[in-house]
Amino acid sequence: MIGILSFVGFTLLVGVISYFATRTTNETTSDGYFLGGRSLTAGVIAGSLLLTNLSTEQIVGLNGQAYTEGILVMAWETLAAIAMVVTAVFLLPRYLKSGLTTVPQFLRDRYDITTKTITSALFLTGYVVVLLPIILYSGSLAISTMFDVPGLLGVSDTTALVLCVWGIGIIGSIYAVFGGLKAVAVSDSINAIGLLIGGILIPIFGLFAIGEGNVFEGIRVLTENNPEKFNSIGKNTNSVPFHTIFTGMMLVQLFYWGTNQQIIQRALGAKNLKEGQKGLLLASFIKILGPLIVVLPGIIAYHMFQGKLEVADQAYPALVNEVLPSYLIGFFAAVLFGAILSSFNSVLNSSVTLFGIDIYKQHINPEAPERTVVKYGKWFGVFLAFVSMFIAPLIANAGSLFEYLQEVNGIYSIPILTIIAVGYLTRRVPAIAAKIGIVSGSLLYILSQFVLQPHFVGRAMDEAAASGITDAAALAEIRAEAYPHFLDVMAILFLLNIGIMLLIGKLRPRPEPFELQYTNQVEITPYKYVRQVGIGVVALVVFIYIYFAQ
């Protein structure tokens, strides 16, 4: 009962604070609703960035991977810090100079309206088919497990999952659709504090239990008994082979932190460039600590449960139930609930923004006043929310949530990153090159990962079975060698698409070179220490890898 009361109390507190913090914002305008009135400061941007990213698909999924593979999966966290530095130094100044509300707006100015529309449609498809349902499913799995919803309500696991999906979806929709970006960002910032506190408490309590009352003894026991889990290099059979850090991994990170509307929208709402850059750099420093929350608990769970959990994604909820005192369960569930809502809200709010600005205003009703654009954007958000709530329970058998999410996202992430990179780094590549690049990039990735890979891997495994090979390690090696890793495929297609676009630009260049215009939406004087702080972040990431290298 205490847990439920603390859960409800903290959740209501966040809602009340968010209401009072946003009630004076004019949300009938595009800037007011979609970008929080371009008034976000560094602390709010950093908190919102972190909590938007740090949700249950991250906490549950990445800890599940750490349970089976160890610290090497920290690449998803630590390399994000480098991507944020690149975004702060290179991309954000250009975004704010152009006064963008959505990333596809740049593609309209650089290429043409059709390119922008195709990109927006790709974003929206990825959000509603993949990202929103996974956020809802993983969040519902965590909440249902922590509160034992099946036992509490006397229903099956499937029914409990569906109830949680709809509960989270409806509450998240209210925040995102009717509150706008500022409501999402403010609630994110409050929940970020609670999540960092609660997230750090889980490994502390876990180490306390392993060390029989002594955290430092717990660290010693954990590292001495599981040395293979603390190797930052790993093997080619791991989900993140070390070499992929230098191929597709950084491309995924640059797309996510630099061009993904769901994330970059927080920085686009900055009151000026200085605040935006400081927010990104602050988030990058904190992100380096991310493995303490999304990797270390998975390793602790492996030690504690002796690797006997049937499903790796159960590692984090099982550890929470095992080590967290009962009086803190409600608070932590509330914080986790906030993280779930944060990611769901953020994707939904970005979807509303993309539809309202890039689809409705551009193609359906070009003469619509801003109040009407916001209105129909909200209705579209409601529609997306309901679609994702129907899809979410259907992905229960997707395997490793985090790896599945990253692989499927490649359908649109690398093509979009390609045309943005070429758009900023060249001046004469034409619109037709962007259209060919984004369509060919998506189709070639689908062909590679969903047609060729199953064929080659299946044939290799059949040959292994015919040869009588049954050893798990040998089979994993055969599977890894049968087809390139999906991160390597991303890198290959990225370079191929850039080559295609540059060739087209050479043969059919734009008549006039593209010039980036300053719209005077916000002040764009950079933070004077942006490069020094960025170099410090990169050096810290390199040091971490060297320290854990075996």
**Any idea where the domains of the chain sit in the sequence?**
2-19+30-402+524-548
Q: What is the pLDDT of residues 200-237, one digit of tens each?
A: 899 999 999 999 989 999 999 999 999 989 998 888 88
For residue 429, name the pLDDT band (cuts at 50, 70, 90).
very high
Mean confidence (pLDDT) of the chain: 83
What average pLDDT does the segment 247-253 reach?
A: 92
CA angle in degrees (0–180, nearest 5) for 286-292-294: 95
Q: What is the pLDDT of residues 304-326, one digit of tens each?
A: 988 778 778 778 888 988 898 87
CA–CA dist 101, 355 (Å, integer): 12
**65-69, 170-174, 323-327, 488-492, range with the lowest pLDDT:** 170-174
Residue 440: the pLDDT is 92
Please check the confidence at residue 251 and state whether its pLDDT lies above 60.
yes
DSSP states of 80-123: HHHHHHHIIIIIHHHHHHHT-SSHHHHHHHHT-HHHHHHHHHHH
DSSP states of 198-232: HHHHHHHHHHHHHTTS-HHHHHHHHHHH-GGGG-S
Residue 20: the pLDDT is 55
Give every CB contact of residue 275 below 8 A, 6+ residues apart in sequence.
40, 41, 42, 45
Q: What is the pLDDT of residues 386-426, one digit of tens each?
A: 888 888 887 766 555 666 777 888 888 899 999 999 999 99
Residue with tokens 């854990």: 548
Residue 396: the pLDDT is 66
Please check the confidence at residue 78 and state whether its pLDDT lies above 80.
yes
Token pair for residue 451? 């047609």
DSSP state of 430: -
The pTM for the full model equals 0.82
Residue 34: the pLDDT is 45
Q: Which helix (H) or strand (E) holds 171?
A: helix 157-210
Please check the confidence at residue 29 and state whether its pLDDT lies above 60.
no
Residue 194: the pLDDT is 74
What average pLDDT does the segment 188-199 reach?
A: 72
CATH 1.20.1730.10 for domain 2-19+30-402+524-548, yes or no, is yes
DSSP state of 55: S
Please check the confidence at residue 259 and state whether its pLDDT lies above 60.
yes
